[in-house]
């Protein structure tokens, strides 16, 4: 686990990053990320403006490889629908996942995050962090800059 003196970037590695952008209606699945070295994952979704009537759902899929073989949803790993009518623009939500919640007996160790926008466009960005690494410190190559 991360200690007081350890840098955040030494304990948390961005596995998936979707920069903030306006997304039209449809499913917007990320690439697939390998979780074998990270028994814990947290997906952080930062929602911005939502057009009139827009909704946003998000779930985590699992697969046996980075091509999405055997893809299926991870049970219980979906957010409650966000709606423009409900004032959910500018929200911050997270899904936490322990990799034992994947179908490990079936060989599932890859994840994909699938935000789905309906009715109107939604601005959002997301990052899936792997942590509690089996091999620390974690690589810092996914970060453009680290300032201490």
pLDDT in tens, 110-148: 999 999 999 999 999 999 999 988 887 788 888 899 998
> What does the alpha-carbon distance between residue 81 and residue 58 come to, in Å, rounded to a whole number?
8
HSE-CB for 5 with a 13 A CA cutoff: 0
Residue 15 has pLDDT above 90, yes or no: yes
Contacts of 41 (CB under 8 A, 6+ apart): 15, 35, 96, 97, 99, 111, 128, 129, 130, 131
Please give the span between the terminal C-alpha atoms of the chain, in angstroms, as a whole number.
20
Mean pLDDT is lowest, of 21-35, 44-58, 60-74, 132-146, for 132-146
* pTM > 0.85: yes or no: yes
* Cis check: omega of the bond before 56, within 30 degrees of 0: no
Report domain 14-131's class. Answer: mainly beta
Return the percentage of the chain with pLDDT > 90, whole number: 83
The answer to whether residue 68 scores a pLDDT higher than 80 is yes
């Amino acid at each position: 686990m991360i200690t007081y003196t350890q840098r955040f970037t030494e304990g948390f590695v961005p596995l998936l990053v979707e920069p903030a952008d306006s997304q039209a209606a449809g499913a917007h699945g990320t690439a697939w990320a390998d979780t074998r070295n990270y028994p814990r994952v947290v997906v952080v979704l930062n929602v911005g403006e939502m057009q009139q009537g827009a909704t946003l759902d998000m779930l985590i899929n699992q697969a046996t490889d980075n091509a999405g073989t055997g893809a299926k949803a991870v049970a219980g790993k979906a957010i409650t629908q966000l709606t423009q009518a409900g004032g959910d623009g500018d929200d911050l939500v997270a899904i936490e996942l322990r990799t034992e919640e994947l179908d490990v007996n079936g060989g599932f160790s890859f994840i994909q995050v699938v935000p789905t926008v309906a009715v109107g466009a939604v601005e959002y960005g997301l990052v899936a962090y792997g942590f509690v690494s089996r091999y620390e410190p974690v690589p810092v190559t996914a970060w453009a800059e680290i300032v201490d």
